[in-house]
């Protein structure tokens, strides 16, 4: 007889989401639904009628962790719609900015996941905020890597968080030779730290993978060898940067994409009948509470060939680098393997960058309303923005952000895991939920509003 348990909200990731889980008598998940409950941002509606220069800047405000990915994807979607080719040096600056963003995001994610893991060879879980060694120096290294990522982003992009330098047609400014050297020095320092950090993290992850049990709220919970396995496909457009409809050979196929509603993917109304007050932090949802994932999920469900897919570091490595591991730990390992990639990309671009080169296209076409899309490989997966621009104004705009792709896929990956470690499976996707939320589904009485329109 299956029971329903709900973890709401989930913790240690960006945004608000919850897990509604049907579990068997042994506490193993039979069907899991992971859904976003972050309030809607409404960016796509705000965009309509705004100028093509404004919209990517607004889009970047959807979140504070990968705003750079949203800004760049937005800008490139506009460029794809109007048919604007940008100068090489502008492209190089964008790749530097993008790689710097991924670098600091991976480091931030390390902090978020470390409390799930043990110091190898001990029964002590890692508290990244402790003053004790060796964790103290790891935390200091993480902070420095983030600082390096953000400083490089700040120089190339104008701001560390919401970049001001990129614009439709290229970049506002090229950097000075001194700034280029500064980025180079930072990247060199970062490379050493990132390599150490990668090795440390992989050791910690492998140690966890080899354990039989983990401790959650004083209980020994078995770790299945197939934790996080699912049989959905993977999707990635590039190992580092992305692709757009302007490319000679675009690596994302718009014809295979179809957006469906949460109604079709999530379970209907259920009553919670399993509760664990000791579950950190503050216990699970009380018995008797009603949950309705179909109604509560406030994301679309994008599909490729009719199925949800996984995006993110594992998807990138599986698509482009023959990485053949699966599941939660494989996702973690793949993310760490991207550390040096980010810095090598930065260094390569800096070598090729001409600081006196032109960074703005001239002229910039104003668009005839044709559809353009750009996919940017954000830290947590493929971020596709689609736009139609006419006479410099946005007619239509859509964001298919990484976590939107991952929400239904991860829901499938939850099956077979003990419910107490379901959050570990979720965290391996490095979820960034606020940007994934982009439509309103229910009204105050929890009824679906205008189903046909959304």
Partner 1 sequence: MVSDPYLGKYTTCVSARSTDKEILQKAQDGGIATTLMVYALEQGIIDGAIVAGKGDRPWQPRPFIAMSREDILKARGTKYNISPQISLLKEATRSFGLDKVGITGVCCQMQAVRKAQLYPVNMRDVPGKIALAVGLFCMENFPYKSMQCIVEDHAGQSLHSVKKMEIGKGKYWIYTERGNVVTLPLKVTHKYEQPGCHVCLDYVSNLGDISTGSVGSPDGWSTVFVRTKVGNDVWSKAVASGMFETKPIEGVKPGLELVTKLAKEKIDKNRATVEGRKTFGVNKALRDPYA
Which H or E run contains 150?
helix 135-157
> Rounded to an integer, what distance in angstroms lies between the CA atom of residue 351 and that of residue 346?
9
Residues 6+ apart with CB under 8 A from 450: none
Piece of the chain touching partner 1 by CB under 8 A; list 147-155, 215-223, 272-280, 301-309: 147-155
Q: Is 275 in the site for partner 1 (CB under 8 A)?
A: no
Q: Is 219 in the site for partner 1 (CB under 8 A)?
A: no
Binder of partner 1 out of 43, 78, 92, 175 (CB under 8 A): 175
Binder of partner 1 out of 24, 127, 137, 176 (CB under 8 A): 176
Please give the structure tokens belonging to residue 422. Answer: 């379901």
Q: Is 160 in the site for partner 1 (CB under 8 A)?
A: yes
Q: Is 181 in the site for partner 1 (CB under 8 A)?
A: yes
Q: Is 331 in the site for partner 1 (CB under 8 A)?
A: no
Please give the structure tokens belonging to residue 447. Answer: 């009824």
Binder of partner 1 out of 119, 154, 346, 435 (CB under 8 A): 154
Nearer to partner 1, 141 or 180 (CB): 180
Q: Is 183 in the site for partner 1 (CB under 8 A)?
A: yes
Burial of residue 238 (CB within 10 Å: 0-12, 13-18, 19+) is middle
Which H or E run contains 259?
strand 257-260
Q: Is the peptide bond before 281 cis (omega within 30 degrees of 0)?
A: yes
Q: Is 278 in the site for partner 1 (CB under 8 A)?
A: no
Nearer to partner 1, 144 or 182 (CB): 182
- Cβ-contact 272, 288 below 8 angstroms: yes
Q: Is 159 in the site for partner 1 (CB under 8 A)?
A: yes
> Rounded to an integer, what distance in angstroms lies between the CA atom of residue 389 and that of residue 367?
5
Q: How far is CA 195 from CA 32, 150, 189, 328, in A?
A: 36, 18, 10, 21
Binder of partner 1 out of 90, 155, 384, 394 (CB under 8 A): 155
Q: How many CB atoms lie within 10 A of CB 174?
A: 23
DSSP code, position 183: H
Q: Is 96 in the site for partner 1 (CB under 8 A)?
A: no
Q: Is 360 in the site for partner 1 (CB under 8 A)?
A: no
Nearer to partner 1, 186 or 426 (CB): 186
Q: Is the peptide bond before 363 cis (omega within 30 degrees of 0)?
A: yes
CB of residue 87 vs partner 1: minimum separation in angstroms? 16
> Rounded to an integer, what distance in angstroms lies between the CA atom of residue 126 and that of residue 110?
11
Q: Is 297 in the site for partner 1 (CB under 8 A)?
A: no
Number of residues that bind partner 1 (CB under 8 A): 19
CB of residue 91 vs partner 1: minimum separation in angstroms? 16
User: What are 372's strand-pairing partners?
Assistant: 387
CB of residue 155 vs partner 1: minimum separation in angstroms? 6
Piece of the chain touching partner 1 by CB under 8 A; list 65-73, 160-168, 190-198, 415-423: 160-168
Binder of partner 1 out of 10, 20, 165, 285 (CB under 8 A): 165
> Rounded to an integer, what distance in angstroms lies between the CA atom of residue 282 and that of residue 275?
11
Nearer to partner 1, 113 or 154 (CB): 154
Q: Is 72 in the site for partner 1 (CB under 8 A)?
A: no
CB of residue 140 vs partner 1: minimum separation in angstroms? 19
Binder of partner 1 out of 20, 60, 110, 174 (CB under 8 A): 174
CB of residue 156 vs partner 1: minimum separation in angstroms? 8
Q: Is 182 in the site for partner 1 (CB under 8 A)?
A: yes
> Rounded to an integer, what distance in angstroms lies between the CA atom of residue 230 and that of residue 410?
8
CB of residue 11 vs partner 1: minimum separation in angstroms? 27
The residue length of the chain stands at 454
- Please name the residue that has the structure tokens 């913790």: 11
Q: How far is the first Cα of the chain from the last one, in angstroms, to the nearest whole number?
A: 36
> Rounded to an integer, what distance in angstroms lies between the CA atom of residue 235 and that of residue 316?
7
> Rounded to an integer, what distance in angstroms lies between the CA atom of residue 308 and that of residue 230?
11
Q: Is 178 in the site for partner 1 (CB under 8 A)?
A: yes
Binder of partner 1 out of 57, 141, 167, 180 (CB under 8 A): 180
Q: Is 189 in the site for partner 1 (CB under 8 A)?
A: no
DSSP code, position 116: G
Residues that bind partner 1 (CB under 8 A): 151, 154-156, 158-161, 165, 173-176, 178-183
């Amino acid at each position: 007889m299956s029971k329903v348990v709900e973890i709401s909200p989930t913790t240690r990731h960006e945004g608000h989401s919850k897990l509604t889980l049907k579990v068997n008598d042994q506490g193993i998940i039979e069907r899991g639904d992971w859904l976003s409950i972050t309030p809607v941002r409404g960016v796509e509606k705000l965009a309509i009628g705004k100028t093509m220069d404004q919209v990517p800047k607004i889009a970047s405000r959807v979140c504070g962790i990968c705003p750079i990915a949203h800004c760049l994807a937005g800008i490139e979607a506009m460029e794809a719609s109007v048919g604007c080719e940008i100068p090489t040096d502008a492209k190089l600056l964008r790749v530097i900015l993008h790689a710097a963003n991924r670098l600091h995001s991976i480091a931030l994610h390390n902090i978020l996941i470390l409390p799930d893991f043990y110091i190898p060879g001990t029964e002590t879980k890692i508290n990244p905020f402790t003053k004790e060694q060796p964790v103290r120096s790891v935390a200091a290294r993480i902070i420095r890597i983030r600082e390096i990522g953000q400083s490089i982003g700040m120089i190339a992009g104008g701001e560390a968080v919401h970049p001001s330098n990129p614009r439709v047609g290229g970049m506002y400014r090229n950097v000075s030779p001194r700034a280029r050297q500064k980025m180079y020095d930072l990247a060199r320092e970062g490379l050493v730290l990132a390599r150490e950090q990668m090795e440390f993290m992989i050791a910690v992850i492998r140690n966890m993978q080899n354990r039989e049990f983990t401790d959650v709220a004083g209980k020994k919970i078995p770790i299945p060898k197939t934790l996080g396995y699912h049989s959905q496909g993977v999707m990635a457009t590039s190992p580092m940067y992305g692709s757009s409809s302007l490319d000679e050979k675009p690596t994302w196929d718009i014809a295979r994409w179809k957006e469906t509603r949460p109604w079709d993917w999530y379970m209907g109304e259920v009553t919670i009948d399993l509760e664990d007050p000791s579950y950190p932090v503050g216990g699970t949802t009380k018995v008797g509470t009603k949950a309705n994932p179909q109604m509560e999920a406030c994301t679309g469900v994008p599909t490729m060939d009719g199925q949800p897919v996984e995006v993110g570091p594992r998807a990138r490595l599986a698509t482009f680098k023959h990485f053949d591991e699966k599941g939660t730990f494989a996702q973690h390992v793949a993310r760490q393997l991207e550390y040096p990639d980010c810095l090598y990309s930065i260094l390569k671009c800096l070598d090729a960058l001409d600081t006196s080169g032109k960074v703005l296209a001239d002229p910039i076409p104003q668009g005839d309303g044709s559809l353009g899309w750009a996919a940017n490989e954000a830290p947590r997966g493929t971020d596709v923005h689609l736009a139609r621009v006419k006479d410099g104004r946005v007619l239509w705009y859509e964001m298919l952000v990484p976590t939107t792709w991952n929400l239904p896929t991860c829901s499938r990956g939850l099956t077979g895991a003990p419910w107490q470690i379901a959050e570990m499976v979720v965290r391996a996707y490095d979820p960034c939920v606020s940007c994934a939320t982009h439509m309103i589904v229910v009204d105050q009485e929890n009824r679906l509003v205008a189903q046909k329109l959304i």
